[in-house]
Amino acid sequence: MYETVDEIFANNAATFLAPEGPDLLERLGGMANWRGARNSHAVWPYERTTRGAVGPEATFGQNGHRATVTSFGFQDYLSLSRHPQVIDATIEAVRQYGPHSASAPFWQGNSTLTDDVCGLLSELTGLPHIVLFPTGWAAGFGAIQALVRPYDHVVFDRLSHASLQTGLYASTQKLHGFRHNNLENVRSTLSEIRSSDTANGILVVTESLFSLDADYPDLAALQDVCHEYGATLLVDSAQDLGAVGPGGTGNLGVQGMTGKVDLQCGSFSKTFSHIGGFVASHSPAVEHHIRVFASTYMFSNAPTPPGLAAARESMLIVRSEEGERRRERLLRNSLHFRAGMMAHGVDCLGEPGPFVPISVSDVALAARMGTELMNRGVAVNLVEFPAVKLGTARFRFQLMSDHTEAQLDHAVTSWAEAWRACGGADVEIDLTETAHQAVDISSDVAV
């Protein structure tokens, strides 16, 4: 059916988004055939199997082949998941508590490790009331789903993470997307809502670092405009908490806003060596309401003891002098990598930080480049629809503090070689496109 790469990319994932036919399972063959064709033509750079520990170098297995490469696809920004203290703490937790929480947190899923992690998160966020979730996705979804009722409004940045957007769509139909990081659009939206509805709540949703654009809002100004119109601000700090800012406080700390926003949620999976998430607030009423009405808290098992031990030890390192040194190395790596790319004429999206997005407007070119980069010993995540706007793609280089300058330079050189090998000189690259739409068939949903 698909004899050439061009035939493959005459379709995309959206082609198979709404299959037709009475049998829910039988009608799914089109997507499977398309995926298989991409795989056979070596333009399916996903679902690799890692053989060994997470780190700057990794061995992958796919289709019976193995390759050891420099990896820029892991989210382990301070390189803590293989830190001896984190590994030892995780092993000790298995010995003491076993591997399983074995219950939802509302019943018997918590342990003394839960209290330890909540205390450390209170220090990091400056917010005293913490609710833990089994994943960061569950935290973002659960916070909105628990607090927003069908008669309330949600005003959200159109680049907000999929967990947040899914939560708001599950909660109310009164949805108002605003242009990315556009404060005046927020203000005008809130003014319009309050001109006709002073009885119901408004939740404003944003992130402290956006994962596909590497940028961030003016959080103080956003919190002020929320208070001006009686709205509540929720900031998702999944990407930057621990990895940047004084004491690992993220961009909230950089902007002097630690402990000053209404609500904060986040994830353990980017810096704290395990899956898990949290919601933090000033209010015990908020804490207890979420514990009862967030379905992802009430009806899901609690974070596991080994996971909590890894997160706890990672947080202790994050708050230490070693943590500061690791953040400094991560920033130096980001600046070095960006400078190398710019020397080759490549503009990188956003600001220096733990990841570097590069947008490519031609999806077929991007897929070919992913293969060429892998052949040159560089693994990087290609992001295409439904995670970004239909018809576009971008690479997200995820950096670690333990990446060496030699590894960074190798990635830059490999990018330039892959670009030329794929005929990139004849294809326009879109390095400025940031127009995104809400969650639907043509949406951008951050991952």
What local confidence, expressed as pLDDT, does residue 66 receive? 75
**Residue finishing a domain among 285, 318, 351:** 318
What local confidence, expressed as pLDDT, does residue 49 receive? 86
What local confidence, expressed as pLDDT, does residue 428 receive? 35
- Say yes or no: 372 and 407 in one domain: yes
DSSP single-letter state for residue 301: P
Q: Is residue 250 part of a domain?
A: yes
- Say yes or no: 263 and 402 in one domain: no
What local confidence, expressed as pLDDT, does residue 65 receive? 67
Question: In 3-state terms, what secondary structure has residue 233?
Answer: strand
**Residue finishing a domain among 288, 318, 348:** 318
Q: Is residue 79 part of a domain?
A: no
What local confidence, expressed as pLDDT, does residue 447 receive? 52
- Say yes or no: 66 and 167 in one domain: no
Q: Is residue 291 part of a domain?
A: yes
Look up the pTM and report it: 0.91
What local confidence, expressed as pLDDT, does residue 50 receive? 87
d(CA 89, CA 310): 6
- Say yes or no: 349 and 382 in one domain: yes
- Say yes or no: 377 and 262 in one domain: no
Residue type (1 letter), 365: L
Structure tokens at 402: 């333990």
- Say yes or no: 363 and 441 in one domain: yes
Q: Structural domain tally of the chain?
A: 3
CA neighbor of 247 nearest in space, from 319, 341, 153, 193: 319
Range of the domain at 378: 49-74+323-447
Residue 327 contacts by C-beta under 8 Å, 6 or more apart in sequence? 78, 243, 244, 245, 248, 401
CA neighbor of 110 nearest in space, from 381, 301, 249: 301
Question: In 3-state terms, what secondary structure has residue 205?
Answer: strand
Q: Is residue 25 part of a domain?
A: yes
d(CA 148, CA 376): 49
d(CA 129, CA 106): 16
CATH of the domain at 361: 3.90.1150.10
- Say yes or no: 89 and 64 in one domain: no
CATH of the domain at 272: 3.40.640.10
CA neighbor of 139 nearest in space, from 367, 311, 366, 303: 303
- Say yes or no: 398 and 411 in one domain: yes
**Residue finishing a domain among 292, 318, 344:** 318
Q: Is residue 439 part of a domain?
A: yes
In degrees, rounded to 5, the angle at the alpha carbon of residue 441 between the alpha carbons of residues 440 and 445 is: 60
Residue 332 backbone zone (phi > 0: left; psi -120 to 50: alpha; other: beta): alpha
What local confidence, expressed as pLDDT, does residue 430 receive? 35
Residue 136 contacts by C-beta under 8 Å, 6 or more apart in sequence? 163, 238, 265, 266, 267, 268, 269, 275, 276, 277
What local confidence, expressed as pLDDT, does residue 265 receive? 98
Paired residues of 277 in beta bridges: 133, 267
Cis peptide before 45 (omega within 30 of 0): no
- Say yes or no: 180 and 278 in one domain: yes
What local confidence, expressed as pLDDT, does residue 444 receive? 44
CA neighbor of 279 nearest in space, from 400, 105, 156: 105
SS3 per residue for 317-372: HHCCHHHHHHHHHHHHHHHHHHHHHHHCCCCCCCCCCCEEEEEECCHHHHHHHHHH
- Say yes or no: 139 and 244 in one domain: yes
Q: Profile the chain (447 residues) by mean pLDDT over runs of 10 residues.
A: 88 92 94 92 87 90 76 96 97 96 93 97 98 97 98 97 96 97 97 98 98 96 98 98 97 98 97 97 97 96 97 98 98 97 94 95 90 93 91 95 97 94 54 32 41
- Say yes or no: 70 and 93 in one domain: no
What local confidence, expressed as pLDDT, does residue 86 receive? 98
H or E segment and range at residue 114: helix 112-125
Structure tokens at 82: 């293989």
- Say yes or no: 57 and 117 in one domain: no
